[in-house]
Amino acid sequence: MSLYSAPVSQPYFDIIRLIERLHRHFLDVLRTELRRLNIEDINAVQALLLYNIGENEVVIRDLKDRGYYQGSNVSYNIKALTECGYLMQERSTHDRRSVRLKLTDKGLSLCNSIRKLQDDLAGVLGGDEKTAAQLDTTLETMQRLERTWTDFVHYGRIRGL
Average pLDDT over residues 141-154: 90
Q: Are residues 62 and 114 in the same domain?
A: yes
Q: What is the rounded distance in angstroms from the CA atom of residue 108 to the CA atom of residue 101? A: 12
Domain annotation covers residue 3: no
Give 1's pLDDT tier (boundaries 50, 70, 90): very low
pTM: 0.82
pLDDT reading at 57 higher than 70: yes
Question: What SS3 string covers the chain?
Answer: CCCCCCCCHHHHHHHHHHHHHHHHHHHHHHHHHHHHCCCCCCCHHHHHHHHHHCCCCEEHHHHHHCCCCCHHHHHHHHHHHHHCCCEEEEECCCCCCCEEEEECHHHHHHHHHHHHHHHHHHHHHCCCHHHHHHHHHHHHHHHHHHHHHHHHHHHCCCCCC
Which domain does 103 fall in, by range?
9-125
Domain annotation covers residue 61: yes
Q: Are residues 143 and 93 in the same domain?
A: no
- How many domains, the chain? 2
Give 153's pLDDT tier (boundaries 50, 70, 90): confident
pLDDT tens-digit readout, 14-26? 999 999 999 999 9
| Residue-averaged pLDDT of the chain | 87
Q: Are residues 148 and 79 in the same domain?
A: no
